Amino acid sequence: MGKIRIGLFGFGVVGQGIYEVLRRTKNVDAEIVKICVRSLDKPRPGEIDRRFFTDSADEILLDPAIDLIVEVIDDAEASYRIVKAALERKIPVVSGNKAMLANHLQELIEMQKRNGVALLYDASSCGSIPVIRNLEEYYDNDLLLEVKGILNGSSNYILSRVFDHQCPYAEALAQAQALGFAESDPSFDIEGYDSLFKLVIITVHALGVYVHPRDIFTYGISTIHDSDIRYAREKRVKIKLVAQVVKVAGDRFTMFVMPEFVSPKKYIYSVDDEYNGVVIRGECYDRQFMFGKGAGSLPTASSILSDIMARQHDYRYEYKKMNYADRPAYTTDILLRIYARYTDTPVPAILPFEKIHEQYFSSECNYLIGDVKLSALIEHRAELNGKDLFLANIPLFFIDRD
Protein backbone atom coordinates (compact mmCIF):
# COMPACT_ATOMS: atom_id res chain seq x y z
CA MET A 1 0.00 0.00 0.00
CA GLY A 2 1.22 3.53 -0.78
CA LYS A 3 1.03 6.53 1.49
CA ILE A 4 -2.06 6.47 3.73
CA ARG A 5 -4.05 9.70 3.56
CA ILE A 6 -5.87 10.15 6.85
CA GLY A 7 -9.05 12.06 7.58
CA LEU A 8 -8.97 12.77 11.33
CA PHE A 9 -12.15 13.32 13.36
CA GLY A 10 -11.44 15.09 16.68
CA PHE A 11 -8.53 17.28 17.70
CA GLY A 12 -8.75 17.14 21.49
CA VAL A 13 -6.50 15.23 23.89
CA VAL A 14 -6.15 12.16 21.67
CA GLY A 15 -6.40 13.89 18.26
CA GLN A 16 -3.51 16.23 19.08
CA GLY A 17 -1.53 13.28 20.43
CA ILE A 18 -1.99 11.48 17.09
CA TYR A 19 -0.78 14.53 15.18
CA GLU A 20 2.32 14.68 17.40
CA VAL A 21 3.06 10.93 17.28
CA LEU A 22 2.78 10.88 13.47
CA ARG A 23 5.11 13.88 13.28
CA ARG A 24 7.70 12.02 15.42
CA THR A 25 7.46 8.67 13.61
CA LYS A 26 9.72 8.18 10.61
CA ASN A 27 8.70 4.72 9.48
CA VAL A 28 5.04 5.34 8.91
CA ASP A 29 3.95 6.26 5.43
CA ALA A 30 0.87 8.24 6.43
CA GLU A 31 -0.24 11.86 6.59
CA ILE A 32 -3.22 13.69 8.01
CA VAL A 33 -4.90 15.58 5.16
CA LYS A 34 -8.05 16.89 6.87
CA ILE A 35 -9.22 17.36 10.47
CA CYS A 36 -12.90 17.57 11.35
CA VAL A 37 -13.78 19.26 14.67
CA ARG A 38 -16.97 20.47 16.31
CA SER A 39 -16.10 24.17 16.44
CA LEU A 40 -13.94 25.98 13.90
CA ASP A 41 -13.71 29.01 16.20
CA LYS A 42 -11.67 27.24 18.88
CA PRO A 43 -8.00 28.23 19.02
CA ARG A 44 -5.75 25.41 17.73
CA PRO A 45 -2.02 24.80 18.30
CA GLY A 46 -0.09 27.44 16.33
CA GLU A 47 1.87 25.59 13.67
CA ILE A 48 -1.10 23.83 12.04
CA ASP A 49 -2.53 25.51 8.97
CA ARG A 50 -6.18 26.37 9.63
CA ARG A 51 -7.07 25.16 6.13
CA PHE A 52 -6.61 21.62 7.48
CA PHE A 53 -9.71 22.04 9.66
CA THR A 54 -13.34 21.59 8.76
CA ASP A 55 -16.57 21.24 10.71
CA SER A 56 -18.23 19.25 7.94
CA ALA A 57 -17.99 15.47 8.26
CA ASP A 58 -18.78 15.12 4.55
CA GLU A 59 -15.60 16.95 3.59
CA ILE A 60 -13.80 13.83 4.83
CA LEU A 61 -16.41 11.14 4.15
CA LEU A 62 -16.92 12.19 0.51
CA ASP A 63 -13.27 12.87 -0.32
CA PRO A 64 -12.12 10.01 -2.61
CA ALA A 65 -8.47 10.81 -1.84
CA ILE A 66 -8.87 9.85 1.84
CA ASP A 67 -8.17 6.19 2.46
CA LEU A 68 -8.31 5.92 6.27
CA ILE A 69 -10.52 7.62 8.83
CA VAL A 70 -9.24 8.03 12.37
CA GLU A 71 -12.13 8.86 14.70
CA VAL A 72 -11.39 10.25 18.18
CA ILE A 73 -14.30 12.50 19.05
CA ASP A 74 -16.01 12.66 22.44
CA ASP A 75 -19.59 12.34 21.19
CA ALA A 76 -20.67 8.68 20.97
CA GLU A 77 -23.79 9.33 18.86
CA ALA A 78 -21.93 11.43 16.28
CA SER A 79 -19.11 8.87 16.31
CA TYR A 80 -21.61 6.09 15.48
CA ARG A 81 -22.99 8.08 12.52
CA ILE A 82 -19.48 8.84 11.22
CA VAL A 83 -18.18 5.27 11.57
CA LYS A 84 -21.28 3.78 9.95
CA ALA A 85 -21.12 6.24 7.05
CA ALA A 86 -17.43 5.47 6.53
CA LEU A 87 -17.91 1.69 6.59
CA GLU A 88 -20.86 1.98 4.17
CA ARG A 89 -18.51 3.81 1.81
CA LYS A 90 -15.91 1.05 2.35
CA ILE A 91 -13.45 3.45 4.00
CA PRO A 92 -11.47 1.71 6.79
CA VAL A 93 -11.69 3.30 10.26
CA VAL A 94 -9.53 3.44 13.37
CA SER A 95 -11.56 4.48 16.44
CA GLY A 96 -10.92 5.03 20.14
CA ASN A 97 -14.55 5.51 21.13
CA LYS A 98 -15.35 2.78 23.67
CA ALA A 99 -18.87 4.03 24.45
CA MET A 100 -19.85 3.93 20.77
CA LEU A 101 -18.16 0.58 20.14
CA ALA A 102 -19.58 -1.16 23.21
CA ASN A 103 -23.12 -0.18 22.25
CA HIS A 104 -22.92 -0.95 18.51
CA LEU A 105 -20.17 -3.51 18.01
CA GLN A 106 -22.44 -6.34 16.84
CA GLU A 107 -23.83 -4.21 14.01
CA LEU A 108 -20.41 -2.76 13.15
CA ILE A 109 -18.91 -6.25 12.87
CA GLU A 110 -21.63 -7.24 10.42
CA MET A 111 -21.02 -4.05 8.42
CA GLN A 112 -17.30 -4.79 8.23
CA LYS A 113 -18.02 -8.25 6.85
CA ARG A 114 -20.70 -7.10 4.42
CA ASN A 115 -18.55 -4.32 3.00
CA GLY A 116 -15.17 -6.05 3.23
CA VAL A 117 -13.74 -3.15 5.20
CA ALA A 118 -11.73 -2.87 8.45
CA LEU A 119 -12.55 -1.17 11.75
CA LEU A 120 -9.65 -1.23 14.25
CA TYR A 121 -9.92 0.02 17.85
CA ASP A 122 -7.10 -1.12 20.11
CA ALA A 123 -6.97 2.36 21.69
CA SER A 124 -10.54 2.01 22.96
CA SER A 125 -9.55 -0.53 25.61
CA CYS A 126 -6.72 0.39 27.97
CA GLY A 127 -5.04 3.11 25.90
CA SER A 128 -1.47 2.11 25.19
CA ILE A 129 -1.78 -1.51 26.38
CA PRO A 130 -2.20 -3.75 23.32
CA VAL A 131 -5.05 -5.86 24.66
CA ILE A 132 -7.35 -6.27 21.67
CA ARG A 133 -4.89 -7.34 18.99
CA ASN A 134 -3.22 -9.76 21.43
CA LEU A 135 -6.54 -11.36 22.31
CA GLU A 136 -7.46 -11.55 18.64
CA GLU A 137 -4.19 -13.00 17.35
CA TYR A 138 -2.22 -14.71 20.09
CA TYR A 139 -5.07 -16.00 22.24
CA ASP A 140 -7.08 -17.28 19.27
CA ASN A 141 -7.77 -20.68 20.81
CA ASP A 142 -9.86 -22.34 23.49
CA LEU A 143 -7.31 -22.06 26.31
CA LEU A 144 -8.34 -18.63 27.57
CA LEU A 145 -10.18 -18.78 30.88
CA GLU A 146 -10.32 -15.24 32.19
CA VAL A 147 -9.51 -11.62 31.47
CA LYS A 148 -9.60 -9.46 34.53
CA GLY A 149 -8.20 -6.08 35.33
CA ILE A 150 -8.16 -2.46 36.26
CA LEU A 151 -9.37 -0.78 33.10
CA ASN A 152 -10.04 2.76 34.32
CA GLY A 153 -7.21 5.06 35.34
CA SER A 154 -9.28 7.79 37.04
CA SER A 155 -11.03 5.55 39.55
CA ASN A 156 -7.76 3.72 40.19
CA TYR A 157 -6.00 7.01 40.86
CA ILE A 158 -8.70 7.96 43.39
CA LEU A 159 -8.53 4.59 45.17
CA SER A 160 -4.71 4.74 45.28
CA ARG A 161 -4.81 8.16 46.91
CA VAL A 162 -7.32 6.89 49.44
CA PHE A 163 -5.45 3.67 50.30
CA ASP A 164 -1.80 4.63 49.98
CA HIS A 165 -1.92 8.30 50.95
CA GLN A 166 -4.78 8.32 53.47
CA CYS A 167 -6.44 11.00 51.37
CA PRO A 168 -10.21 11.57 51.88
CA TYR A 169 -12.30 10.38 48.91
CA ALA A 170 -13.63 13.85 47.96
CA GLU A 171 -10.10 15.29 47.99
CA ALA A 172 -8.79 12.39 45.86
CA LEU A 173 -11.56 12.95 43.32
CA ALA A 174 -10.78 16.69 43.16
CA GLN A 175 -7.08 15.87 42.59
CA ALA A 176 -7.93 13.43 39.80
CA GLN A 177 -10.01 16.13 38.11
CA ALA A 178 -7.33 18.78 38.57
CA LEU A 179 -4.73 16.47 36.99
CA GLY A 180 -7.05 15.71 34.07
CA PHE A 181 -7.46 12.01 34.94
CA ALA A 182 -11.18 12.37 35.67
CA GLU A 183 -13.80 14.08 33.53
CA SER A 184 -15.43 17.23 34.93
CA ASP A 185 -18.50 14.95 35.16
CA PRO A 186 -16.64 11.97 36.62
CA SER A 187 -19.57 9.55 36.78
CA PHE A 188 -18.50 7.75 33.58
CA ASP A 189 -15.27 6.72 35.34
CA ILE A 190 -16.29 6.24 38.96
CA GLU A 191 -19.65 4.56 38.36
CA GLY A 192 -17.83 1.88 36.33
CA TYR A 193 -19.23 2.61 32.83
CA ASP A 194 -15.85 3.30 31.24
CA SER A 195 -14.63 -0.08 32.54
CA LEU A 196 -17.87 -1.72 31.42
CA PHE A 197 -17.54 -0.50 27.82
CA LYS A 198 -13.95 -1.74 27.66
CA LEU A 199 -15.00 -5.10 29.10
CA VAL A 200 -17.70 -5.53 26.41
CA ILE A 201 -15.10 -4.92 23.67
CA ILE A 202 -12.53 -7.18 25.34
CA THR A 203 -15.07 -10.02 25.64
CA VAL A 204 -15.78 -9.96 21.90
CA HIS A 205 -12.09 -10.63 21.27
CA ALA A 206 -11.50 -12.91 24.28
CA LEU A 207 -14.43 -15.29 23.86
CA GLY A 208 -16.11 -14.34 20.58
CA VAL A 209 -19.34 -13.23 22.25
CA TYR A 210 -20.96 -9.80 22.26
CA VAL A 211 -23.00 -8.90 25.34
CA HIS A 212 -24.84 -5.58 25.42
CA PRO A 213 -23.70 -3.24 28.26
CA ARG A 214 -27.26 -3.07 29.67
CA ASP A 215 -27.13 -6.80 30.50
CA ILE A 216 -23.98 -6.57 32.64
CA PHE A 217 -23.86 -5.75 36.36
CA THR A 218 -21.85 -2.57 36.91
CA TYR A 219 -21.22 -1.02 40.29
CA GLY A 220 -18.76 1.82 40.91
CA ILE A 221 -16.86 3.43 43.77
CA SER A 222 -18.83 6.65 44.33
CA THR A 223 -20.38 5.48 47.62
CA ILE A 224 -17.16 4.18 49.19
CA HIS A 225 -16.85 5.36 52.77
CA ASP A 226 -14.14 5.62 55.45
CA SER A 227 -15.56 2.54 57.16
CA ASP A 228 -15.04 0.44 53.98
CA ILE A 229 -11.47 1.63 53.75
CA ARG A 230 -10.90 0.87 57.43
CA TYR A 231 -12.39 -2.60 57.02
CA ALA A 232 -10.20 -3.34 53.97
CA ARG A 233 -7.07 -2.11 55.76
CA GLU A 234 -7.82 -4.32 58.75
CA LYS A 235 -8.06 -7.31 56.39
CA ARG A 236 -4.83 -6.21 54.65
CA VAL A 237 -6.47 -5.90 51.25
CA LYS A 238 -7.01 -2.97 48.89
CA ILE A 239 -10.29 -2.15 47.19
CA LYS A 240 -9.88 -1.84 43.41
CA LEU A 241 -12.49 -1.31 40.70
CA VAL A 242 -12.19 -4.54 38.73
CA ALA A 243 -13.74 -5.59 35.42
CA GLN A 244 -13.76 -9.29 34.65
CA VAL A 245 -14.91 -11.88 32.19
CA VAL A 246 -14.51 -15.42 33.49
CA LYS A 247 -15.28 -18.88 32.13
CA VAL A 248 -17.11 -20.57 34.98
CA ALA A 249 -17.67 -23.97 33.39
CA GLY A 250 -16.69 -25.34 30.01
CA ASP A 251 -19.63 -23.86 28.16
CA ARG A 252 -20.50 -20.75 30.19
CA PHE A 253 -18.92 -17.47 31.18
CA THR A 254 -19.85 -14.55 33.36
CA MET A 255 -18.81 -10.89 33.43
CA PHE A 256 -19.27 -7.87 35.68
CA VAL A 257 -17.66 -4.65 36.92
CA MET A 258 -17.43 -4.15 40.68
CA PRO A 259 -15.12 -2.97 43.43
CA GLU A 260 -13.19 -5.96 44.68
CA PHE A 261 -11.08 -6.85 47.70
CA VAL A 262 -7.61 -7.47 46.30
CA SER A 263 -4.97 -9.23 48.39
CA PRO A 264 -1.23 -8.43 48.11
CA LYS A 265 -0.67 -11.75 46.33
CA LYS A 266 -2.53 -10.58 43.23
CA TYR A 267 -0.86 -8.83 40.30
CA ILE A 268 -3.44 -6.04 40.26
CA TYR A 269 -2.74 -5.19 43.92
CA SER A 270 0.29 -3.19 42.77
CA VAL A 271 -1.44 -1.45 39.85
CA ASP A 272 -1.67 2.01 41.38
CA ASP A 273 -2.36 5.61 40.45
CA GLU A 274 -3.63 6.19 36.91
CA TYR A 275 -2.18 2.92 35.58
CA ASN A 276 -4.13 0.01 34.13
CA GLY A 277 -3.35 -3.70 34.50
CA VAL A 278 -4.85 -6.70 32.76
CA VAL A 279 -4.42 -10.31 33.86
CA ILE A 280 -5.04 -13.01 31.28
CA ARG A 281 -5.44 -16.55 32.54
CA GLY A 282 -5.57 -19.68 30.49
CA GLU A 283 -5.20 -23.41 30.62
CA CYS A 284 -1.56 -24.48 30.16
CA TYR A 285 0.01 -21.04 30.59
CA ASP A 286 -1.63 -19.98 33.90
CA ARG A 287 -1.38 -16.19 34.22
CA GLN A 288 0.01 -13.38 32.10
CA PHE A 289 -0.01 -9.74 33.05
CA MET A 290 -0.05 -6.54 30.98
CA PHE A 291 0.58 -3.23 32.71
CA GLY A 292 0.74 0.32 31.43
CA LYS A 293 -0.83 3.67 30.76
CA GLY A 294 -4.48 3.23 29.96
CA ALA A 295 -5.18 6.80 28.91
CA GLY A 296 -3.59 10.15 28.13
CA SER A 297 -2.71 11.93 24.93
CA LEU A 298 0.49 10.24 23.74
CA PRO A 299 -0.12 6.77 25.24
CA THR A 300 -3.50 6.56 23.51
CA ALA A 301 -2.08 8.02 20.31
CA SER A 302 0.64 5.34 20.31
CA SER A 303 -2.06 2.70 20.14
CA ILE A 304 -3.80 4.56 17.29
CA LEU A 305 -0.43 4.69 15.51
CA SER A 306 -0.12 0.94 15.85
CA ASP A 307 -3.54 0.52 14.21
CA ILE A 308 -2.56 2.93 11.41
CA MET A 309 0.63 0.90 10.80
CA ALA A 310 -1.46 -2.29 10.85
CA ARG A 311 -3.61 -0.84 8.06
CA GLN A 312 -0.44 -0.37 6.02
CA HIS A 313 -0.31 -4.16 5.98
CA ASP A 314 -4.03 -4.45 5.28
CA TYR A 315 -4.66 -5.87 8.74
CA ARG A 316 -8.22 -6.38 9.93
CA TYR A 317 -9.81 -8.27 12.81
CA GLU A 318 -11.15 -11.60 11.63
CA TYR A 319 -13.34 -12.17 14.72
CA LYS A 320 -12.31 -15.81 14.46
CA LYS A 321 -13.77 -16.78 17.81
CA MET A 322 -17.21 -15.53 16.77
CA ASN A 323 -17.22 -18.31 14.16
CA TYR A 324 -16.21 -21.10 16.52
CA ALA A 325 -18.78 -23.90 16.62
CA ASP A 326 -18.58 -24.05 20.40
CA ARG A 327 -18.84 -20.62 21.94
CA PRO A 328 -19.47 -20.22 25.66
CA ALA A 329 -22.84 -18.76 26.71
CA TYR A 330 -23.19 -15.75 29.00
CA THR A 331 -24.66 -16.56 32.40
CA THR A 332 -25.56 -14.55 35.47
CA ASP A 333 -26.61 -17.66 37.35
CA ILE A 334 -23.47 -17.48 39.44
CA LEU A 335 -22.97 -17.15 43.17
CA LEU A 336 -20.80 -14.24 44.28
CA ARG A 337 -19.48 -13.52 47.74
CA ILE A 338 -20.31 -9.90 48.50
CA TYR A 339 -19.27 -7.40 51.13
CA ALA A 340 -22.16 -4.99 51.80
CA ARG A 341 -21.94 -1.94 54.06
CA TYR A 342 -25.18 -0.09 54.66
CA THR A 343 -26.97 2.24 57.07
CA ASP A 344 -30.68 2.82 56.35
CA THR A 345 -31.14 0.83 53.12
CA PRO A 346 -32.07 -2.69 54.27
CA VAL A 347 -29.64 -4.65 52.11
CA PRO A 348 -30.46 -8.08 53.66
CA ALA A 349 -34.15 -7.49 52.85
CA ILE A 350 -33.45 -6.35 49.27
CA LEU A 351 -30.95 -9.01 48.23
CA PRO A 352 -31.82 -12.70 48.56
CA PHE A 353 -28.61 -13.89 50.23
CA GLU A 354 -28.21 -17.65 50.08
CA LYS A 355 -25.81 -17.66 52.98
CA ILE A 356 -24.53 -14.98 55.36
CA HIS A 357 -21.00 -15.57 56.62
CA GLU A 358 -20.44 -12.49 58.77
CA GLN A 359 -22.67 -9.72 60.05
CA TYR A 360 -21.99 -6.66 62.16
CA PHE A 361 -24.32 -3.92 63.42
CA SER A 362 -23.40 -0.60 64.98
CA SER A 363 -24.93 2.85 65.39
CA GLU A 364 -22.64 4.17 62.60
CA CYS A 365 -23.10 1.47 59.96
CA ASN A 366 -23.82 -2.22 59.40
CA TYR A 367 -22.00 -4.68 57.22
CA LEU A 368 -22.37 -8.23 56.09
CA ILE A 369 -20.54 -10.75 53.98
CA GLY A 370 -22.82 -13.13 52.17
CA ASP A 371 -23.40 -15.20 49.04
CA VAL A 372 -25.80 -13.84 46.46
CA LYS A 373 -26.49 -14.62 42.80
CA LEU A 374 -25.22 -12.19 40.18
CA SER A 375 -28.70 -12.38 38.60
CA ALA A 376 -30.17 -11.05 41.89
CA LEU A 377 -27.74 -8.12 41.88
CA ILE A 378 -28.90 -7.28 38.35
CA GLU A 379 -32.55 -7.66 39.25
CA HIS A 380 -32.25 -5.34 42.26
CA ARG A 381 -29.68 -2.86 40.95
CA ALA A 382 -32.14 0.07 40.82
CA GLU A 383 -32.76 -0.38 44.55
CA LEU A 384 -29.01 -0.43 45.27
CA ASN A 385 -27.55 2.33 43.08
CA GLY A 386 -26.75 5.67 44.68
CA LYS A 387 -27.99 4.58 48.09
CA ASP A 388 -26.25 4.78 51.49
CA LEU A 389 -24.47 1.51 50.87
CA PHE A 390 -21.36 0.08 49.29
CA LEU A 391 -20.84 -3.31 47.68
CA ALA A 392 -17.60 -5.11 46.89
CA ASN A 393 -16.84 -8.52 45.45
CA ILE A 394 -14.75 -11.00 47.42
CA PRO A 395 -13.27 -13.18 44.66
CA LEU A 396 -14.33 -16.79 44.73
CA PHE A 397 -13.14 -18.00 41.36
CA PHE A 398 -9.50 -19.05 41.42
CA ILE A 399 -9.53 -17.64 44.90
CA ASP A 400 -5.82 -17.20 45.59
CA ARG A 401 -4.35 -17.25 42.16
CA ASP A 402 -4.70 -13.96 40.33
Residues lying near ligand NAP in the complex (CB under 6 A) are found at 9-15, 36-39, 42, 72-75, 78, 96-98, 123-124, 127, 295-296, 300
Choice between 99 and 347, CB closer to ligand NAP: 99
Minimum separation from the CB atom of position 42 to ligand NAP (A): 5
Choice between 96 and 220, CB closer to ligand NAP: 96
Residue nearest to ligand NAP (CB): 12
Minimum separation from the CB atom of position 364 to ligand NAP (A): 38
Choice between 129 and 336, CB closer to ligand NAP: 129
Choice between 95 and 332, CB closer to ligand NAP: 95
Minimum separation from the CB atom of position 90 to ligand NAP (A): 21
Minimum separation from the CB atom of position 11 to ligand NAP (A): 4
Choice between 78 and 310, CB closer to ligand NAP: 78
3-state helix/strand/coil string of the chain: CCCEEEEEECCCHHHHHHHHHHHHCCCCCEEEEEEECCCCCCCCCCCCCHHHEECCHHHHHCCCCCCEEEECCCCHHHHHHHHHHHHHCCCCEEECCHHHHHHHHHHHHHHHHHHCCCEECHHHCCCCCCHHHHHHHCCCCCCEEEEEEECCHHHHHHHHHHHHCCCCHHHHHHHHHHCCCCCCCCHHHHCCHHHHHHHHHHHHHHHCCCCCHHHCEECCCCCCCHHHHHHHHHCCCEEEEEEEEEEEECCEEEEEEEEEEECCCCHHHHCCCCEEEEEEEECCCEEEEEEEECCCHHHHHHHHHHHHHHHHCCCCCCCHHHHCCCCCEECCCCEEEEEEEECCCCHHHHCCCCEEEEEECCCCCEEEEEEEEHHHHHHCHHHHCCCCEEEEEECCCCCCCC
Minimum separation from the CB atom of position 361 to ligand NAP (A): 43
Minimum separation from the CB atom of position 36 to ligand NAP (A): 5
Choice between 246 and 271, CB closer to ligand NAP: 271
